[in-house]
Structure 1
Amino acid sequence: MTLERPMAPDPYDLLPAVPSFELTSEDVRDGQPMESVFAHDSVGGDNVSPQLTWSGFPAETRSFVVTCFDPDAPTGSGFWHWVLANVPVQVTQLPRNAGSEASAGAVSVRNDYGALGYGGAAPPPGDRPHRYVFAVHAVDVDELPVTAESSPAYVGFNLAFHTLARATLRPTYQITD
């Protein structure tokens, strides 16, 4: 059964524009379906975060925040799959499955599954393909004032005032009947 509802806006279209930089992955491609290894284990996936590499960010960057958000989740507020804050500026890539825990002094914030780290794609079976917006935010401070108990919305609020630039990839995922 496909849920009939309008497509949600891209979350970053609703925020002030910032410059972009390059985000690439060996595992996911912009606009292309993700493999099931990146899906949540509740839908038969392996709950593995994809490899990400970024470059070309502003020289003033002091740290990064890595996020994954599904604007198409039937919640009215989307679904946060991953929030990794205060990634040191010298870290410009995350290997596959880096989302299993925080590393290099970064802070992993609870996702909307209620767990720390990456929570894979799990759209309702039969729903249209969902967009998974992987974003790396170049930040103008060494650390945002967040902890593992902060909500993704609180991290986003802080990002609104500290983002210098943002890079995104938007792969999709769908569970067919």
Structure 2
Amino acid sequence: MTLLGRLLNNRRAGETHTAWRLPNLEGPDTLTLTSEDFGDGQAMSLRHCAKTIGGDDVSPHLAWTAPPTGTAQLLLVVEDIDVPLAKPAVHCLALIDPAAGHLDPGALATRRPASGVRLLRSTIGRGYHGPGPIKGHGPHRYIFELFALAAPLDNTPTTTPPDRKRPRALLPTITAPVLARGRLTGTYER
């Protein structure tokens, strides 16, 4: 696997196609997103990594400053921007009640998400899927992006419910104004 990682070393998705760069998800960068488990730009522990590489796949603690008045939902997107694909891999996509204020470790678990958390489809499946980069590919950056939406993602009968859409189909179609947003980057390397 190390050889494959080295061969793909110059191939990375980058930030161009992240949720953060979508015109419909632009907004003031006024939310501060933090974690007790890692600092911005710092390494994530094996506990938060995929089981396929020996981790526990436990989503990290996340906390944020109070969203603006009028926030109907928070949208959390976790993306690996260093995956050797054309676009970042979405490791988690979730809607969160704006009254939550934080998520404890494991709150994004597929089988038992925390109260106020609604898990949507990610590239890999529902729920949190921790880092599991190819060995030898170098450091991967995992961007946790939080968006304060002025209106909930609706389930009108004329559209596919958000729960059923793939991330790359859902994210560009969000029409709710973004009142604030913030991001936090964790890293992991094998």
TM superposition score normalised by structure 2:
0.81
Change (3 A) 1:120 1:13: closer
Structure 2 CA distance for aligned equivalents of residues 9 and 103 of structure 1: 29
The AA in structure 1 aligned to 2:105 is R
Residue 9 of structure 1 corresponds to 15
Structure 2 CA distance for aligned equivalents of residues 116 and 65 of structure 1: 14
How far the C-alpha of 1:161 sits from its partner, in A, is: 4.6
Matched, 1:149 2:164: yes
The AA in structure 2 aligned to 1:108 is L
Structure 2 CA distance for aligned equivalents of residues 162 and 107 of structure 1: 20
SS at match of 1:153: helix
Matched, 1:128 2:129: no
Structure 1 CA distance for aligned equivalents of residues 154 and 79 of structure 2: 19
The AA in structure 1 aligned to 2:22 is L
Does structure 1 retain, via aligned residues, the 8 Å contact 2:37–2:60? yes
Does structure 2 retain, via aligned residues, the 8 Å contact 1:23–1:169? yes
Provide the aligned C-alpha RMSD in A.
2.0
Structure 2 alignment gaps of length 5 or more: 156-160
Once superposed, which parts of structure 1, at least 4 consecutive aligned residues long, lie more than 4 Å away?
none
Residue 95 of structure 1 corresponds to 104
SS at match of 1:171: strand
| Among 26, 36, 40, the residue aligned to 2:36 | 26
Structure 2 CA distance for aligned equivalents of residues 81 and 117 of structure 1: 8
Matched, 1:109 2:109: no
Does structure 2 retain, via aligned residues, the 8 Å contact 1:47–1:120? yes
Structure 1 CA distance for aligned equivalents of residues 162 and 114 of structure 2: 14
Percent identity between the aligned chains? Answer: 28
How far the C-alpha of 1:134 sits from its partner, in A, is: 0.6
Deviates more, 1:158-167 or 1:37-46: 158-167
Matched, 1:137 2:147: yes
Higher Rg of the two aligned structures: 2
How far the C-alpha of 1:109 sits from its partner, in A, is: 1.4
TM superposition score normalised by structure 1:
0.87
Change (3 A) 1:79 1:166: same
Does structure 2 retain, via aligned residues, the 8 Å contact 1:40–1:47? yes
